Structure 1
Amino acid sequence: MGPGAGIAAFLLSLSAVPVSHLINNLPGVDSPKVVFAAGAAVLLVLLLVLYLLAGSSRPKDPLFYVFAVFSFTSVIDLVISLEQDGYIKGFMAFYMKEGEPYLRSAYGILICYWDGTVHYVLYLTMIGAITLGWNYRSVGLYWLGSLMMSLITLLLGTSVGKFGSEIRPAFLLNIPYVLLPIWAGNKIVGSPRSLPSASADQVAKEQTRWLYRRPLDVCLMVYLAFAIMYTLLRGFVALDCSLDFCDTYKYDQEPYLLDPVMYPRIQMLVNMFYLLPFFGLALYGLIVPGCAWMLDITLVFAGAIAQAQFAHVGASLHPRTSFTYRVPNNALSDFLYANAIFAIGAQLLALRCAICPGFFLKGVPRNSQEMEKKVN
């Protein structure tokens, strides 16, 4: 398999810029149904063109086509965010009016930035890996966590927030973004894991080290304890807890949690119901050797936390958020430090598991003599 299919996918993703400008200036694109039909037609035509351009170098991995289409929509999202922030004009005005108007919110703009940059790089990386026959399991798991986190918060927040009355037929275009990642995630999880080579002796030695001899793991456990408390605090605030410290926090530290768009509140609830169990499992995995599931779960949640923190922090400070709900200047440094630690800690945990996985591998005999003893 040659790189031709990958190059075709990259060029087609860039075609999102002229295509969006062309559709924006077509007459008659002024109703929700027409916008929905135009969006669906573009995606179908894109798949067909990609299939034809790939020619003899057509990849056997069906996820190639998923990532290629999603890379196209990533460029569309970048165009949306740039236009909403006033950097460009005349590309996606029709879609903002009759397609997905909730993307005009601060949260919508930030997730479009994330999709148009981080997700776009991840798509191109996985497309390149497929065409070259490389393993992309780790990148795929990180992408899966990031995408699912953004979708859960966006769809729930849009449905119950102030944009609930502005849902258009184009909202249905999110269905492939829900179904395809589930299918893709199943295939990625089922693919072989690529691990650094380690002998049985090295694994056994790593798993017999006491916690005090693993200072990095101790630091990660401190981070997890902080993350649990921080997640609980903001989850209680999102649930309108009447305790004094919750009232003080939401008014003096993070008033964005009171924004009627509901995205920040939904984000905190998602964190409390999904991230809290992960933090608890991660603590267990750092204490008890042989928890091989740590190698996958930390990647998924690292992607989820990175996306959530980028969108939440960015929206808290964005001009589209009413001044009333933005982080107060006197609390800005504390807010940024806490959220940076919350995001970076998860990335370091995933990196630790990926680079030095010996502690998390299943127990093995230390040498061939022990193997013989067990056999006899």
Structure 2
Amino acid sequence: MDIPPLAGKIAALSLTALPVSYVLNLVSELSHPLGVVLTSILILVLLLVSVRSLSRGEISYDPLYAVFAVLAFTSVVDLLISLQEDGYVVGFMEFYTKGEPYLSTAHGVFICYWDGIVHYLLYLAMAGAIQKRKRYRNLGLYWLGSFVMSILTFLPGNILGKYSSEIRPAFFLTILYMLVPCWAGVRIFKQSQAPICYTPNMVQEEHRKSLLQRPVDLALVIYLILAGFFTLFRGLVVLDCPTDACFIYIYQYEPYLRDPVAYPKVQMLVYMFYVLPFYGLAIYALIFPGCSWLPDWALVFAGAIAQAQFSHMGASLHLRTAFTYRVPEDVWAPVFLCNLLYALSPHLLASRCLWRPTFFLKPQSPDLMAKHKKLN
């Protein structure tokens, strides 16, 4: 897959978040919750007008260009929030974090880092692909999973955690973000896939191989089974399972799962109710041929788990997490290794699907195979 070029116009426009944030922070009245909401809406409108005037051709070709432009701007804002909360910059986003105190949590800081770095680069790459009229379906699916996962954890965590009584009007702007992946996801899934250069005979031959004849797939199945057990175990841990193993794990290995901010608990429940079923379906698709849906959804879940594990692992070690809930130093290495291996599992699966997708292609009918043989 060719790497799309980065979009220069969007990059330049997104960097205007630096002076805008600095100027707005000087106006102390904006610390009022309603002022933050009105200012955010005004900036969004002005940004959309600017994008439309600068990139009419790209927007008419693909409306997601405007979405990526706006989200790139917000990514720079999120990066400023995380850098400010960690003390690397001052005087930019104090007026905003006063209205959204949950962004000052360790989890909030790390989702802002992820959005400000990984999502930002994805927006530039996808916008650059639109400018060059190239495909960006794989990047879009990875971003979609990452974006949705951040919302699925962050919003419920804000409502259920210790900051639930401090929700301000600006929080409802975040809820509007839920509409973005719905619309963008439909458009991305409808995009044409890269041309497949495999003959029906190659597909048929690959379908005849058993799991034992595909050692890479066999190793992936075992890997996913272990990841599934780890997913189920941590889900039971946050549900206060009374077994000794769960008690020992939550107090001696990952006490962050008890943090009253509720993000880690919500994250483990999202894993158990969404990721665990996907692992079961992926194992099925690795055993039985013709599951053409797996390559796309493997990319979606790879992005989702990458974002989730980055935020979870980072927050469990961050100084903003109370010492009682941080991973103990004597078990830091095995806990980090387990979480890292867990994050790698969907990426290995997605790599396998992109590397040799023949096994997942649907078998062709005898008529089509006969026609192909006649043409050749």
What TM-score, normalized by structure 1, do the two folds share?
0.94
> Displacement of 1:54 after TM fit?
2.2
2:351 matched residue in structure 1: 351
Q: Check if 1:36 corresponds to 2:42.
A: no
Cα root mean square deviation, aligned: 2.0
Partner of 2:29: helix, strand, or coil?
A: coil
1:203 matched residue in structure 2: 203
- Report if aligned partners of 1:200, 1:365 keep a CA contact under 8 Å in 2: no
Partner of 1:117: helix, strand, or coil?
A: helix
- Where does structure 2 lack aligned partners over 5 or more consecutive residues? none
For 2:21 and 2:155, locate their aligned partners in 1 and report how far apart those are by CA, in whole Å.
23
> Which deviations, in whole Å up to 9, do the C-alpha atoms of 1:238-260 show, x marking residues without a partner?
11111111101100110000000
Letter of the 1:147 counterpart: F
For 1:64 and 1:219, locate their aligned partners in 2 and report how far apart those are by CA, in whole Å.
39
Q: Check if 1:246 corresponds to 2:249.
A: no
- Report if aligned partners of 1:290, 1:360 keep a CA contact under 8 Å in 2: yes
For 1:11 and 1:322, locate their aligned partners in 2 and report how far apart those are by CA, in whole Å.
38
1:180 matched residue in structure 2: 180
Distance 1:57 1:258, change over 3 A: closer
For 1:350 and 1:204, locate their aligned partners in 2 and report how far apart those are by CA, in whole Å.
22
Partner of 1:29: helix, strand, or coil?
A: helix
Letter of the 1:30 counterpart: S
> Displacement of 1:7 after TM fit?
2.9
Paired-residue identity, %: 50
Distance 1:55 1:357, change over 3 A: closer
For these two proteins, the number of residue pairs brought into alignment is 370
2:88 matched residue in structure 1: 87
> Displacement of 1:351 after TM fit?
1.1
> Displacement of 1:58 after TM fit?
5.0
Letter of the 1:271 counterpart: Y
> Which deviations, in whole Å up to 9, do the C-alpha atoms of 1:7-52 show, x marking residues without a partner?
3222111111111111111242120000111111111110001111
> Displacement of 1:194 after TM fit?
1.5
Alignment of 1:52-131 (within 5 A): 52-54=53-55, 58-98=59-99, 100-131=100-131
Alignment of 1:331-342 (within 5 A): 331-342=331-342
> Which deviations, in whole Å up to 9, do the C-alpha atoms of 1:310-343 show, x marking residues without a partner?
0000000000001100111121111111111111
Alignment of 1:154-303 (within 5 A): 154-303=154-303
- Report if aligned partners of 1:119, 1:143 keep a CA contact under 8 Å in 2: yes
1:26 matched residue in structure 2: 27
For 1:56 and 1:303, locate their aligned partners in 2 and report how far apart those are by CA, in whole Å.
29
1:150 matched residue in structure 2: 150
Letter of the 2:25 counterpart: N
For 1:57 and 1:356, locate their aligned partners in 2 and report how far apart those are by CA, in whole Å.
33
Distance 1:243 1:75, change over 3 A: same
Q: Check if 1:50 corresponds to 2:51.
A: yes
> Displacement of 1:306 after TM fit?
0.5
For 2:46 and 2:120, locate their aligned partners in 1 and report how far apart those are by CA, in whole Å.
20
Distance 1:60 1:176, change over 3 A: farther
User: After TM superposition, which residue ranges in structure 1, 4 or more long, deviate above 3 angstroms?
Assistant: 55-59, 365-374
> Displacement of 1:195 after TM fit?
4.5
> Displacement of 1:365 after TM fit?
6.0
For 2:297 and 2:152, locate their aligned partners in 1 and report how far apart those are by CA, in whole Å.
18
Distance 1:82 1:57, change over 3 A: same
> Displacement of 1:6 after TM fit?
4.0
Partner of 1:209: helix, strand, or coil?
A: coil
- Report if aligned partners of 2:58, 2:65 keep a CA contact under 8 Å in 1: no
- Report if aligned partners of 1:83, 1:92 keep a CA contact under 8 Å in 2: yes
Distance 1:57 1:223, change over 3 A: closer
For 2:181 and 2:369, locate their aligned partners in 1 and report how far apart those are by CA, in whole Å.
46
> Displacement of 1:371 after TM fit?
5.2
For 1:188 and 1:216, locate their aligned partners in 2 and report how far apart those are by CA, in whole Å.
29
- Where does structure 1 lack aligned partners over 5 or more consecutive residues? none
Partner of 2:194: helix, strand, or coil?
A: coil
- Report if aligned partners of 2:7, 2:125 keep a CA contact under 8 Å in 1: no
For 1:158 and 1:221, locate their aligned partners in 2 and report how far apart those are by CA, in whole Å.
36
Letter of the 1:221 counterpart: V
